[in-house]
């Protein structure tokens, strides 16, 4: 009987259910996105310790190095990095060189120690290969799973990096220094899925050769028939190229001896927590670089996110409140319209509790259907927003189910059913004689 009552008021019932769906979907999506973004940020930063870079924005240093976002800061001096890496308090120093891209994916210069990073000492390596091997020579590349999927690159393919950290309409490529794909990383739902990792030696050689070529072209600008042009291929370039200008592939990683190259950032793993704090204070007190603890930066970020999240949740709760009010009004209006029907039911033997139960069942049916559809819509909305965010930033957003959400959905359903108590009491108190003769 409750179901038939709802079916007889199709338009009113559909609108009421739709309001519930919107309220549940919006609020659930906000909860899923906020939780997923935090989980994605924390997971992406797990294997990273203290980050050292040039003076500037700490946020920019963290987001550029860990999340492959924003523009890189200036390089820190190579001598400073070497001194830091040899410090007795440092167990591991991983260099990073940034500033190039391939079709919008960041090219990161580093060394093989990067692929041994762990979130905790007992954990397996955070970055693992799904196929291929680690780079052993200059101009060999390891690509993330998203890079392989979206660009179609596979083992053995060659590509040229371009200047800048974003794709350009007319990219200025390092055409003379193509990379060869030798490995593909396993997907870890982190920014590394969208990274291209090469030896830092490759970065140096490519940029040094470009500067030498530019100098040579300037020196020969006024020469006739090309005579007197400067020799752009000096010893460092000869070591990296064969006679026809192609990469020879015979120089191992780290084989170049040029000085003053610098690194964009360095990941520092200390031997002890005390050593970490001393290094942190010493570096920040100096003029050469800054040291940043990702956890501190992320804590500030979460505080900023918390304010916006609370506002959005409040909006969702307002929508849910409107949904409960809509259910109550719809059922009350239906009860008023059906007073004669209720009186007839009472006259043929239906008790007050039976009439009240029918109205509550109508409320329960509306809320159960609305919550079920709202949950599905919430997941769908979250999936769409996650895909969109994934095209804008490199933070992976997991959307795994949490029990907190089940309790939230159950609470909404109970709130809606409770909203049906007022019209149910109204039906309970209907006077049979008065409305039977109306």
Exposed / middle / buried, residue 242 (Cβ in 10 Å: 0-12, 13-18, 19+): exposed
At 356-372, the pLDDT tens digits run 677 778 778 888 888 89
pLDDT at 134: 93
CB 115 within 8 A of CB 127: yes
Tell me how crowded residue 303 is: count the other CB atoms within 10 A of its CB.
9
Domain boundary at 262, 292, 322, which?
Answer: 292
Q: Hunting for tokens 């940029």 — which residue is that? A: 207
pLDDT at 255: 45
| Two tokens, residue 374 | 């709202």
Query: Same domain for 77 and 103?
Result: yes
CA distance 404 to 317: 16
CA of 139: how far to CAs of 109, 154, 266, in Å?
10, 15, 21
Domains in the chain, number:
2
Query: Same domain for 20 and 68?
Result: no
pLDDT at 218: 42
CA of 401: how far to CAs of 250, 285, 434, in Å?
51, 45, 53
In sequence order, the 6+-apart residues with CB closer than 8 A to the CB of 21 are 370, 373, 374, 377
Query: Same domain for 69 and 36?
Result: no
Query: Same domain for 178 and 281?
Result: yes
pLDDT at 180: 94
Query: Same domain for 9 and 128?
Result: no
pLDDT at 227: 39
Domain boundary at 292, 310, 345, which?
Answer: 292
Query: Same domain for 259 and 326?
Result: no
Query: Same domain for 286 and 385?
Result: no
Query: Same domain for 147 and 90?
Result: yes
Phi-psi region of 286 (alpha: psi -120 to 50; beta: other; left: phi over 0): beta
Q: Hunting for tokens 């939780």 — which residue is that? A: 35
Query: Same domain for 226 and 359?
Result: no
pLDDT at 249: 41
Query: Same domain for 307 and 278?
Result: no
- DSSP label at residue 173: B
pLDDT at 347: 57
Dihedral (Cα; 223, 228, 229, 232), 10-degree rounding: -170
CA of 238: how far to CAs of 10, 216, 227, 246, 425, in Å?
80, 15, 21, 10, 91
Domain boundary at 292, 316, 338, which?
Answer: 292
At 136-189, the pLDDT tens digits run 988 999 999 999 999 999 999 999 888 877 665 556 666 788 999 999 999 888
> Range of 78's domain?
50-292
Whole-model pTM above 0.85? no
Query: Same domain for 72 and 219?
Result: yes
Residue stretches of the chain with pLDDT short of 70: 2, 166-174, 209-260, 304-309, 331-356, 390-394, 400-401, 420-438
Query: Same domain for 414 and 325?
Result: yes
| Two tokens, residue 212 | 């030498």
């Amino acid at each position: 009987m409750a179901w038939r009552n709802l079916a007889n008021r199709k338009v009113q019932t559909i609108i009421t259910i739709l309001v519930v769906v919107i309220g549940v979907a919006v609020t659930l999506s906000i909860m899923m996105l906020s939780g997923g973004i935090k989980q994605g940020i924390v997971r992406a930063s797990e294997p990273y310790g203290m980050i050292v870079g040039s003076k500037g924005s700490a946020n920019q240093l963290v987001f550029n190095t860990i999340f492959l976002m924003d523009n890189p800061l200036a390089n820190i001096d190579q001598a400073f990095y070497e001194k830091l890496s040899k410090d007795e308090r440092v167990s591991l120093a991983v260099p990073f060189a940034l500033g190039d891209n391939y079709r919008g994916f960041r090219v990161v210069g580093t060394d093989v120690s990067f692929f041994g990073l762990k979130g905790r000492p007992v954990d397996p390596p955070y970055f693992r290969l799904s196929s291929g091997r680690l780079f052993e020579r200059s101009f060999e590349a390891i690509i993330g799973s998203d890079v392989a999927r979206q660009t179609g690159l596979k083992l053995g393919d060659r590509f040229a990096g371009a200047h800048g950290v974003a794709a350009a309409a007319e990219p200025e490529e390092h055409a003379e220094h193509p990379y060869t794909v030798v490995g593909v990383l396993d997907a870890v739902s982190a920014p590394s899925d969208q990274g291209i990792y090469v030896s830092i030696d490759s970065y140096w050689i490519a940029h040094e050769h470009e500067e030498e070529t530019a100098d040579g072209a300037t020196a020969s600008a006024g020469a006739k028939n090309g005579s007197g042009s400067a020799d752009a291929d000096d010893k460092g370039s000869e070591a990296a190229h064969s006679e026809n200008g192609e990469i020879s592939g015979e120089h191992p990683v780290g084989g170049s001896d040029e000085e003053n190259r610098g690194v964009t950032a360095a990941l520092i793993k200390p031997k002890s927590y005390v050593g970490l704090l001393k290094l942190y204070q010493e570096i920040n007190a100096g003029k050469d670089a800054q040291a940043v603890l990702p956890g501190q930066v992320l804590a500030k970020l979460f505080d900023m996110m918390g304010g916006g999240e609370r506002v959005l949740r409040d909006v969702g709760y307002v929508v849910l409140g409107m949904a409960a009010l809509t259910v109550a009004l719809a059922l009350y209006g239906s009860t008023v319209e059906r007073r004669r029907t209720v009186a007839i039911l009472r006259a043929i033997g239906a008790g007050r509790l039976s009439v009240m139960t029918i109205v509550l069942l109508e409320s329960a049916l509306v809320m159960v259907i609305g919550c079920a559809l709202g949950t599905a819509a919430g997941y769908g909305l979250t999936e769409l927003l996650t895909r969109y965010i994934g095209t804008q930033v490199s933070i992976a957003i997991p959307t795994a189910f949490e029990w907190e959400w089940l309790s939230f959905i159950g609470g909404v359903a109970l709130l809606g059913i409770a909203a049906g108590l007022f019209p149910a009491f109204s039906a309970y108190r209907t006077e049979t004689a008065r409305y039977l003769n109306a």
